[in-house]
Amino acid sequence: MVDDLKEFLERNGNSQTLAAVIGFPVNHSLSPTIHNAGFKHLNLQWNYIPLEVEEGDLEEVFEQMRSLNLKGLSVTMPYKAKAAVMVDECTPTAKALGVVNCVTSTDKGLIGHNTDGDGFLKALKHDADFDPKQKRVVVLGAGGAAKAITEALGRAEVSSLVVINRTQAKAESTAALATDVGTVGDLEDISEADLVVNATSLGMKDNATQFPCPVDLIHSDQLVVDLIYHPLKTPWLSAAEQKGARTHNGVSMLLFQATEAFTLWTGQQAPVSTMLRAIEEELERRS
């Protein structure tokens, strides 16, 4: 795959700037669709490709980025933590999380960013006009997504953030990312929250019908967000809607983590509606 990258850069390096998503596997990634729609809309001579990278080739991809016309990189599973040590510098957020999902190539070298948390905050504003400042939040889950949104919600000055997770040790390290407002809690905390977020993988594929918390704990004064976007509406989100809560899925977080990266790479404002339409069409095609 690294040979493919070299060949691509040699062939197109002068006429096009390249961006890529690296991971293993990557063929399911929506990122090429989202970013290429944005480049096309703005008439930018950029091309975004998926690169399935074996672990042994990872370092070479970063070397290519230093020397060739590869200006933007998205990083997905399983390399997000490894990328954080391969870049020259991390932003404070990426450093706190130890996880990089976006790399920029700059005069100062390769900079690792994490755009998931800010993407989530923008999604709250876009979908629900919700300002998390001084709000009580419950985050269900303590994996990569939960960590990113917890750190961002801490920065956004929530009044409390309770993490509930199957594995307690992970709940503790996640809650610590929201500094002094983060705690580990249990199901009793849910009804007190203004915002409840499902950041577990319950609701996806193998766990499609499993709920991340009993829906009886949800009520109509709450905003409920499920980070899952495929399916667009998990059974838990539908049940929360039936309880009268305002509900949103993970499409906007996916969109805004991408628009943040787009702007970091190109310096241009991302065409949000075009990129959203590209996501919706692709998800529709896959459903």
CA distance 140 to 234: 15
Please list every residue from 236 through 255 that binds ligand NAP, using CB under 6 A. 250, 253-254
Count of positions on this chain that bind ligand NAP (CB under 6 A): 24
Q: Does 146 bind ligand NAP (CB under 6 A)?
A: yes
167 vs 238, which CB is nearer to ligand NAP?
167
* Partner residues linked to 106 by β-bridges: 109
Judged by CB under 6 A, the residue of 37, 178, 227, 279 near ligand NAP is 227
Q: Counting contacts by CB under 6 A, is residue 142 touching ligand NAP?
A: yes
The residue among 87, 199, 193 whose CA lies nearest residue 151 is: 199
Closer by beta carbon to ligand NAP, 14 or else 209: 209
- For ligand NAP, the binding residue among 8, 39, 62, 229 (CB under 6 A) is 229
Least separation in angstroms between CB 6 and ligand NAP: 30
Shortest distance in whole angstroms from residue 101 CB to ligand NAP: 9
Q: Which of 33, 36, 74, 257 binds ligand NAP (CB under 6 A)?
A: 257
- Residue 149 binds ligand NAP (CB under 6 A): no
Options 6, 41, 95, 170; binder of ligand NAP; rule CB under 6 A: 170
Please name the residues in contact with 43: beta carbons below 8 A apart, sequence gap of 6 or more: none
* Calpha distance 101→99 (Å, rounded): 7
Residue 166 touches ligand NAP, criterion: CB under 6 A: yes
121 binds ligand NAP (CB under 6 A): no
Long-range contacts of 162-169 (CB under 8 A, 24+ apart): 162/136, 162/137, 162/138, 162/189, 162/193, 163/138, 163/139, 164/138, 164/139, 164/140, 164/189, 164/190, 164/213, 165/140, 165/141, 165/200, 166/200, 167/142
Residues assigned a catalytic role: 80
Distance CA 123, CA 130 (A): 9
Among 167, 179, 238, 273, binds ligand NAP (CB under 6 A): 167
